[in-house]
Copies of this chain bind each other. A is one copy, B any other.
Amino acid sequence: MNLKEPLPMTQNIYDDPTFFQGYSQLGRSVGGLDAAPEWPALQALLPPMHDLRVLDLGCGYGWFSRWASEHGARQVLGLDVSEKMLATARASTSAPNIDYQRADLEHLSLPSLSFDLAYSSLALHYIKDLSGLFAQVYGALVPGARLVFSIEHPIFMAPRNPGWQVDAQGHKSWPLDSYQREGERVTHWLAEGVIKQHRTLGTLLNTLIDTGFNLRHVQEWGPTAQQVEDLPALAEEQERPMLLLVAAQR
């Protein structure tokens, strides 16, 4: 065994050329936070940014890190495993209080009691050792600080065939199965063989609780009536939750 071999990393699908190419063209990649329909709901779970030390887990292009900086955060540390995304993030700002670093969220080592807010958007469903990551984040936050994140909803991730079924009347339903079978889900989204980690909603919440967090809000995101009126394609998101938003407090 080569002792210099690094720890096994999370699948770094964002540096896969096909995936990156597809991802970079998504609405939320081009348009940022305002192009993500769940952003208003996620934002409502955040404390005022003024003077906060913010940790952005899976910062991607850095949309949130920049937003936090522009809204008064004292200091922002954005972490991501993707070199390509970090390069874009770094090129998109000259704010001196944002620091982007490459890090694998599976093997994080964070300084204790150093952050007032931890944030993560759609990254945690790639993490295998979520218990370990939550413990790191808990230790890195000061008492009273919040962890606010979005994650793919387990209902969305669980099925063997995660796609709509449409009946003769045009009604859509989501064929849920395999819900209790936790573990890897391999999907073909933008590229072949994207690996995600399915765990039940109960397991996710209990992992937070057992780490010591207090749950403050759990939201299975769905579009508002106004959002559906503005963008009718969002209507199907009322049939089953695709995203889960969570606010927890140390």
Interface positions of A (Cβ within 8 A of B): 155, 159-161, 165, 171-181, 200-202, 205-206, 209, 214-220, 222, 237-241, 244
With A and B bound together, what is the CA distance between A239 and B159 in angstroms? 9
State how many copies of this chain the complex holds.
2
Q: Is A179's CB under 8 angstroms from B215's CB? A: no
With A and B bound together, what is the CA distance between A178 and B180 in angstroms? 21
> Which of B179, B200, B220, B244 is within 8 Å of A179, CB to CB?
B220
With A and B bound together, what is the CA distance between A159 and B220 in angstroms? 16
With A and B bound together, what is the CA distance between A177 and B178 in angstroms? 17
Q: How far is the CB of A231 from chain B (nearest CB, A)?
A: 16
With A and B bound together, what is the CA distance between A159 and B172 in angstroms? 11
Residues of chain B with a CB closer than 8 A to A215's CB: 205, 209, 214-215
Residues of chain B with a CB closer than 8 A to A155's CB: 155, 176, 179
Q: Is A179's CB under 8 angstroms from B239's CB? A: yes
A174-B172 contact, Cβ under 8 Å, with A209-B215, A215-B215, A218-B205:
no
